[in-house]
């Protein structure tokens, strides 16, 4: 594998996310196309979770996750914000920690910085610790199996944002 090829990094992130979710007891479903807003679907307790996976390295003790999709073509580099209504969860795989972190996309506006190491300035307030996001957040509702309404009209999409200070995880 070429070490810096973004497609390979994305594929590796998806493999680690599948493994981590399977270890947590989720069934993992893969879409037949790469052109959906989500990379995989996790299923547990009669609920589907549409998961977008990101591969991010730690830089200076932090993993920064922008809520956007970036690609390049012959017309240049393009960046588009993610459609939060089309996903339920963001899974971030960090090769430096060899862990997956789970983020409720409605809990943050345009992105989030996850701390994997203590800051050099000893800051303690308003830090989002990556170690607190190793389980699916309880605020993520997913889509119930057998739901009669289309995904776009699902009540799970009306998730309410939570405070950046409160990190709640699924039991």
What integer pLDDT is reported at residue 164 of this predicted model? 41
- Overall average pLDDT of the 8-32 stretch: 95
pLDDT at 162 over 80: no
Domain that holds residue 74: 6-158
- CATH number of the domain enclosing 101: 3.40.1350.10
Q: Is residue 164 part of a domain?
A: no
pLDDT recorded at residue 3? 59
d(CA 81, CA 39): 16
C-beta atoms surrounding 124 within 10 Å: 8
Closest alpha carbon to 158 in 145, 171, 140 = 140
- In tens, the pLDDT along 60-99 reads 999 999 999 888 889 999 999 999 999 999 999 999 999 9
Whole-angstrom CA distances from 94 to 36, 101, 139, 144, 149 are 22, 8, 22, 29, 35
96-117 confidence digits (pLDDT tens): 999 999 999 999 999 999 999 9
Closest CA to 169 of 104, 115, 113, 111: 104
Residue 166 within any structural domain of the chain: no
CA 103 – CA 90 distance, rounded (Å): 5
Question: Looking at the 3D structure of the chain, how many domains does it have?
Answer: 1
Residue range 35-58, pLDDT digits in tens: 889 999 999 999 999 999 999 999
């Amino acid at each position: 594998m070429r070490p810096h090829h973004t497609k390979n990094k994305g594929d590796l992130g998806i493999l680690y996310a599948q493994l981590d979710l399977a270890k947590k007891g989720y069934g993992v479903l893969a879409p037949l196309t790469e052109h959906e807003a989500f990379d995989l679907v996790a299923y547990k307790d009669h609920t589907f979770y549409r998961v977008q996976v990101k591969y991010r390295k730690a830089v200076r003790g932090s993993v920064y996750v922008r809520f956007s999709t970036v690609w390049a073509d012959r017309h240049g580099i393009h960046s588009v914000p993610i459609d939060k209504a089309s996903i339920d969860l963001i899974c971030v795989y960090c090769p430096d920690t060899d862990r997956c972190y789970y983020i409720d996309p409605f809990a943050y506006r345009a992105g989030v910085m996850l701390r994997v190491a203590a800051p050099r300035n000893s800051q303690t307030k308003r830090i989002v610790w990556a170690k607190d996001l190793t389980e699916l957040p309880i605020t993520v509702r997913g889509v119930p199996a057998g739901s009669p309404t289309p995904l776009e009209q699902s009540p799970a999409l009306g998730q309410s944002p939570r405070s950046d200070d409160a990190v709640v995880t699924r039991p």
